[in-house]
Amino acid sequence: MIGDRGGDAGVPETGGIYRRLGVEPIINGRSTFTILGGSLMPPAVLDAMRQAADSFVDLSELEEAVGRRLADLTHNEAAFVSGGAAAGLFLGAAAAMARDTEDGVLRLADLGSLPREFVIHQAHRVPYDLAIEQAGGRLVVIGRAGQPDEGELVDVLGAATAAIVYVPKAHLAQDVLPLDLVVEHARTLGIPVIVDAAAQLPPVENLWRFTRSGADVALFSGGKALCGPASSGLVVGSARFIERMTRNAFPLQGLGRPMKVGKEDMVGLLAAVEWYLELDHEALTREYEMSVDYLVRWARRRVDVTVAREALGEAGQPTPRAHVSLRHGTGQDRDELLASLRATPPRIDLLADPDRGFYVAPETLRPGEEKVIARRLADLLEAARPPITDD
Ligand SMILES: *Cc1c(COP(=O)(O)O)cnc(C)c1O
């Protein structure tokens, strides 16, 4: 094939800087996964970062000014920029443990005498909750699959509880207590609630919804749907709790110092939030629907796959995606197919399901890449088709 990096589907050729290093770029049909680079920053964000790189500035002054503007934009009392949502989880844990100390600064030597338990529902466990343990916290896991057990929550909360951690994935709503109810129990005991909403955009209202429900703080990834710097995180919430987080955060030289946030990241995330709030979200959803429609129509014409449109994205956010399954007897193994897609240009990365299928998520595709994906899938499926024999 000629120009086979998607050029004939009208996708602009990019990634030269990576190829010069011998690293072939990837078409991302998996979604905003950090391991693939998160998301692509729009020109407004890149331009802001470029301008930020032009002069020196007092980082504490900048942190405060950016925080005030982010708080206004997201209808929260306070906000600040962390070095990613996982860093926000670390700082939230530090602030929660040190909340009753005089200066609010977490010191390792004091851990023995502080509340250290972080209550989390089993369905809310994520690989990133390691950041809580990194700060010296201990996870107290409650709940069983499909059982929002209010009694168990009430039983575990006590003087040793530092905070409740809540991951508001819409598709888990049946399995866990609603956030309002969790907040109610926490409030009566003066226990903070930390919401890890790293991948919970869209909808845009989530930027203020969780904190309006009474959570002390909500954390978002700067490098996922917000399309800001991958190394940034948006922290929004109550002035008191966020002030406590900043006492443990960069640029101060406490435990959060290794999670650095550059001036370009601060300004870049602010530009990303401004951009995100101005986005025509309905138009964007229509674009996603068109990509998914294209893939669904393509797959329906084939005998070797079945296809369905799914309403929710990987993290439960309301972003549609296509779910493709290989029929039995196609001669193609799902894992081999996905490995082949990833092996040679145009390299494509897709998310496997727990069975024989995979998803194609539209939100990280550039225009036309859904066609590149369909064409490569067709090539690989046809190459694997069992030979027709005479007998
Ligand atoms: C992606 C993600 C994180 C980590 O976010 P970073 O900004 O990459 O640090 C944390 N929690 C959840 C639920 C996530 O999906």
State which fold the 43-278 domain adopts: Aspartate Aminotransferase; domain 2 (3.40.640)
Helix extents (H) in the chain: 16-19, 43-52, 59-73, 85-97, 130-134, 150-156, 179-189, 206-212, 239-246, 263-278, 281-300, 334-343, 369-384
Q: Which CATH class is domain 16-30+280-384?
A: alpha beta
- The whole-angstrom separation of Cα 251 and Cα 318 is 36
Distance 217 CA to ligand 1 centre (A): 15
* DSSP structure class, residue 206: H
Tell me if 195 sits within 8 A of 210, measured CB to CB.
Answer: yes
- The whole-angstrom separation of Cα 196 and Cα 200 is 9
Our CA dihedral for 109, 113, 114, 116, rounded to 10 degrees, sits at 90
| Best residue among 172, 221, 261, 351 to mutate for probing ligand 1, ranked by most atoms within 8 Å of CB | 221
| Best residue among 36, 91, 126 to mutate for probing ligand 1, ranked by most atoms within 8 Å of CB | 126
Domain locations in the chain? 16-30+280-384, 43-278
* DSSP structure class, residue 148: -
Q: Do domains 16-30+280-384 and 43-278 have the same CATH topology?
A: no
| Best residue among 128, 260, 319 to mutate for probing ligand 1, ranked by most atoms within 8 Å of CB | 128
- The whole-angstrom separation of Cα 64 and Cα 23 is 38
86 CB under 6 A from ligand 1? Answer: yes
Q: pLDDT for 11-25, tens place per residue?
A: 778 999 999 999 999
Q: Which atom of ligand 1 is nearest the CA belonging to 87?
A: 9
Closest CA to 142 of 117, 160, 159: 117
Q: Which atom of ligand 1 is nearest the CA belonging to 33?
A: 1
pLDDT digit of tens for each residue in the chain (391 aa)? 333 444 556 777 899 999 999 999 999 999 999 999 999 999 999 999 999 999 999 999 999 999 999 999 999 999 999 999 999 999 999 999 999 999 999 999 999 999 999 999 999 999 999 999 999 999 999 997 667 778 999 999 999 999 999 999 988 888 899 999 999 999 999 999 999 999 999 999 999 999 999 999 999 999 999 999 999 999 999 999 999 999 999 999 999 999 999 999 999 999 999 999 999 999 999 999 999 999 999 999 999 999 999 999 999 999 999 999 999 888 889 999 999 999 999 999 999 999 999 999 999 999 999 999 999 999 999 998 766 665 5
Tokens representing 95?
A: 């602030």
251 cis-preceded (ω within 30 degrees of 0): yes
Closest CA to 210 of 196, 222, 223: 196
Tell me if 48 sits within 8 A of 232, measured CB to CB.
Answer: no
Q: pLDDT for 223-256, tens place per residue?
A: 999 999 999 999 999 999 999 999 999 999 999 9
The amino acid occupying position 112 is: G
Which residues contact residue 357 at a Cβ distance below 8 angstroms, ignoring those fewer than 6 apart?
323, 324, 325, 326, 334
291 CB under 6 A from ligand 1? Answer: no
Distance 223 CA to ligand 1 centre (A): 9
Residue in the structure block whose two tokens are 């955009």: 201
